[in-house]
Amino acid sequence: MRSIARVLGAVGAGAVLALGITQSASAAQGQLIIGSTTYNNPSGCYPVGSLPVWVQNHTNQYAYIYSGPNCTQFVIQVVAPSQTSLDQYGQSVFVP
């Protein structure tokens, strides 16, 4: 009887982990606008283009502005959902 409980517990834990991974890997819902470019349901790293740049975050996730290209170096600003930011130094924007 204990071995059945262990198996069911392991299966249940595996299902919870699988669901957690699936949910965290989904794209943000809404639009991310970087300069004049709009990204629908964004996920990942996006280039900034010319500086300074307006980042308009109309998603349900935070957007992170990085000092380097390809979302490298340092996070220099965090743009909350439904917020807008003007940045003079950012090179890329990441949305989880």
Predicted structure pTM score: 0.73
Supply the pLDDT for residue 7. 44
Domain ranges of the chain: 28-95
Tens digit of each residue's pLDDT (9 = 90 or more) over 31-65? 999 999 999 999 999 999 999 999 999 999 999 99
**Check whether domain 28-95 has CATH 2.40.50.140, yes or no:** no
pLDDT at 89 over 70: yes
Closest CA to 35 of 21, 27, 47: 47
Closest CA to 91 of 46, 59, 58, 56: 46
CA 40 to each of CA 34, 36, 91: distance values in angstroms, whole numbers, following the listed order = 11, 13, 20
Write 75-79 long-range contacts (CB < 8 A, 24+).
Answer: 79/55
